Amino acid sequence: MDYFFIEEDRASGYTGDVNATHKWLLPGISDCPGCKATWGGGSKAYPSVDLTPVAALADFEEPRAEPFEEYERLRELVLPLLPPGALLEPGVGFGPLVGRAQGRFGPLVSPVPWWLLAQREALEKLQAEGLRGLKGCATQLRFRQRNAPELFELELLPVGRAHPDCLPSNRKPPCPRCGRHGLTRPDDKDLLLDASTLPGHLDLFRLEDFSTAIVCTERFVEACERLGLDGVTFHRLVSA
């Protein structure tokens, strides 16, 4: 099975712009007791997760960094609500994308490298192809135009990892407390996938260790080409 990296097609001529954030988010960590880092990832998101059952909902509405103990307390509150296969890290988003959008959008939309959106018709066509793991979640985007598209965010589970051969040889192991590995993702042309970690049940996912990378199978690419769904480009990745 061949795999591909997905990114916005800047030459497509579409003018769509999205300025939004997820409705809720897990705070970042301030001064981790393991690695001393203050950080929050933010590229992982679970738009299908509804946090309204959580009593302390206000604790998930403002982006900020918290001490590790408070981060762990809040993390425990959302764990029971996650879909199977979800992983948590500081800064994870939940719920729909909320914000503004304008312009002309293609069938597929990647306003930032770690989000993939689809217009309703495109999503329905892809699901009808029998592609695995396509969960579309409604957005709450406000448009300043008539005939605004109905955009859905695709929920991307983190699975699969980069092969060690494309990573620095002097890299340190992830922090045992917060999980931070502090590595910069290799350039697209240098990104090598670890074949032993790739899923056999998903045609679309994000990498676990570099969650800004959206990856799809050859089946997904062929379906998009056959259906004429544009707005993004596909770059073949090597796995070993």
Amino acid letter, residue 226 = R
Query: Is 70 or 56 the better-scoring residue by pLDDT?
Result: 70
Q: Is residue 95 left, alpha or beta, with left meaning phi > 0 and alpha meaning psi from -120 to 50?
A: left
Q: Which residues pair with 164 in a beta bridge?
A: none
Would the pLDDT of 188 be above 90? Answer: no
Concatenated DSSP letters for 139-197?
-EEEESSSS---EEEEP--B---B-GGGS-TTPPPPPTTT----PPPPPGGG-EE-GGG
For residue 145, the model assigns a pLDDT of 85
- Mean of the per-residue pLDDT values for the chain? 95
Q: Is residue 184 left, alpha or beta, with left meaning phi > 0 and alpha meaning psi from -120 to 50?
A: beta
Instruction: Determine the average pLDDT of the residues in 76-102.
Output: 96
Would the pLDDT of 229 be above 90? Answer: yes
Q: Which residues contact 199 (CB under 8 A, 6 or more apart)?
A: 159, 160, 205
- Is 97:18 a contact under the CB 8 Å cutoff? yes
Instruction: Determine the average pLDDT of the residues in 50-59.
Output: 94
Q: pTM to 2 decimals?
A: 0.95
Q: Which two tokens stand for residue 206?
A: 């994000």
117-119 and 151-154: which strand pairing?
antiparallel
Q: Is the dihedral of CA 92, 115, 179, 82 positive or negative?
A: positive
Spatial separation of the C-alpha atoms in residues 207 and 205, rounded to whole Å: 7
Would the pLDDT of 90 be above 90? Answer: yes
Domain residue extents for the chain: 20-94
- Is 68:179 a contact under the CB 8 Å cutoff? no
Would the pLDDT of 182 be above 90? Answer: no
Q: What CA dihedral angle connects 47, 49, 52 and 55, to 10 degrees?
A: -120
Q: Which residues pair with 77 in a beta bridge?
A: none
